[in-house]
Amino acid sequence: MSPSNASILILDDDEDVACAAQMLLRRRHGRVATLGDPRGLDALLAGGMPDLVLLDLNFAPGRIDGAEGLAVLDRLRALPQPPGVIALTAYADIPLAVEALKRGASDFITKPWDNARLAAAVEGALARRAAAAPASATASMLMGESNPMRELRAMIAAVAPTEANVMVLGENGVGKELVARAIHAASKRADGTFLAVDMGALPESTFESELFGHRRGSFTDARSDRLGRFQAARGGSLFLDEIGNMPLGAQAKLLTALERREVTPLGADRAEPIDVRIVSATNLIEERLFDPSVFRPDLLFRLNTIVLRVPPLRERQGDIPQLLHHYLSLYENQYGRPVRELAPSTLEQLCAWAWPGNVRALRHACERAAILAAQPEYRFEDFGLSAPAPAPVEPLAPAAPEDFSLGTLERETIAAALDKAKGNISLAARMLGLSRAALYRKLGKHGF
């Protein structure tokens, strides 16, 4: 499952809100469905399990306690292969948001949302699900009896019970978040929340609001109090992923919070103490990490009390056969495919492969092979690793006659307004002389 072909369900009783989210997410994800009443959830799930659910926590008019949404969350998390869940609420109630996270939600969004924030949250949740699902597949990222993996597991066991901040270094796909989760699971904070934040996806303009929270009225569109990630992870672990992609200005704000062990929500009169263990990660090479024009040395000093280096797959090739057999068996079982053996020549080729995407790439290759293999034994070609042939040059098609139908003209006008408004629905609606709700309906009608 990749973010572009993921299946998403928006469960919200507000038709306009659901439509707005659907229109936004359809630009990146092909299958985005909506449901206005949780009573229809069982029938919908019978037709296929979504990869991610955006779940409103309140459905009945006037309810703000989140009981309905939390009950649905519990139902979803109890399924044999539960989807990822992002909680949606119009009320930034700290206990409710924390409760949703503790019950298995991967993130929460306060309505009305910032489009960039919602898109980033969805991308992050899908990426973490791809890296972590199924659960037994995740564990295999730390599988292996090579010396580098033995040393890594020993370091995790030694570091986890302490309160030391940990920085995890490694290339994309090696399992840095899995290492962070293993540290949390073996720590004294294991019963608390583990909350992952993609720091590279946070716009600098909303950095403080996302991490430290804000109070109602502190800026335009701040219609209610908002819980920051530091507060949401109180008593648990906060995983700051892609820390190397933070701009220097945001780094300074993070440093201040870590030095003082407190954060001040935007618009608040006083600071709030924080109680989180910080685990950070980056795929930057260490030379870049120590470049002060890229990363602040004083922040690095705060974050890298302990440094764990996750080895790339090419440095532990002896683990590849074990990983291959694990993943192939996993996907054969998941998709009901026949059990096949790896031909010796195929195994030799796969062990010699460079695997630039590391364990994540190996897992995707095994999933593909399990689905598409047709011979009694797996062949190297089944894993999709050969260089693709150049695409044939298609002859130019003759120009189609101009279409002056009213439907086509309406769609083109809406597309032009959206382009001129740079995707801002409210502005595009004003330009077209429509209400937001009317524009959303037309967007759905024309398949935007």
Asked whether residue 234 falls in the same domain as residue 320, the answer is no
Higher local confidence (pLDDT), 5 or 43: 43
Give this prediction's pTM.
Answer: 0.59
Higher local confidence (pLDDT), 96 or 246: 246
Side-by-side strand order, sheet with 84-89: 31-35, 7-11, 52-56, 84-89, 107-110
Closest to 239 measured CA to CA, from 92, 106, 93: 106
> Which residues span the domain enclosing 255?
135-311
User: Which pLDDT value is given to residue 4?
Assistant: 52
User: Which pLDDT value is given to residue 414?
Assistant: 79
User: What span, in angstroms and rounded, lies between the C-alpha atoms of 69 and 109?
Assistant: 14
Per the CB < 8 A criterion, the answer to whether 181 and 135 are in contact is no
Asked whether residue 174 falls in the same domain as residue 261, the answer is yes
User: Which pLDDT value is given to residue 110?
Assistant: 78
Per the CB < 8 A criterion, the answer to whether 278 and 238 are in contact is yes
Instruction: Tell me whether residue 334 is in a domain.
Output: yes
User: What span, in angstroms and rounded, lies between the C-alpha atoms of 105 and 227?
Assistant: 15
The percentage of residues in the chain with a pLDDT greater than 70, rounded to a whole number, is 83
Asked whether residue 176 falls in the same domain as residue 77, the answer is no
Instruction: Tell whether the model's pLDDT for residue 448 goes beyond 60.
Output: yes
User: For the chain, what is the domain count?
Assistant: 4
Range in 250-254, 262-266, 327-331 with the lowest mean pLDDT: 262-266
Per the CB < 8 A criterion, the answer to whether 288 and 294 are in contact is yes
Asked whether residue 170 falls in the same domain as residue 208, the answer is yes
Asked whether residue 148 falls in the same domain as residue 285, the answer is yes
Mean pLDDT of 261-288: 89
Instruction: Tell me whether residue 378 is in a domain.
Output: yes
Higher local confidence (pLDDT), 146 or 414: 146
- Burial class for 262, CB neighbours closer than 10 Å (0-12, 13-18, 19+): middle
The band of 136, judged by pLDDT with boundaries at 50, 70 and 90, is: very low
Per the CB < 8 A criterion, the answer to whether 221 and 105 are in contact is no
Instruction: Tell me whether residue 391 is in a domain.
Output: no
Span 28-58, pLDDT tens digits:
776 888 998 888 888 888 777 888 999 988 8
Asked whether residue 12 falls in the same domain as residue 154, the answer is no
> What sign has the CA pseudo-torsion 17, 20, 23, 28?
negative
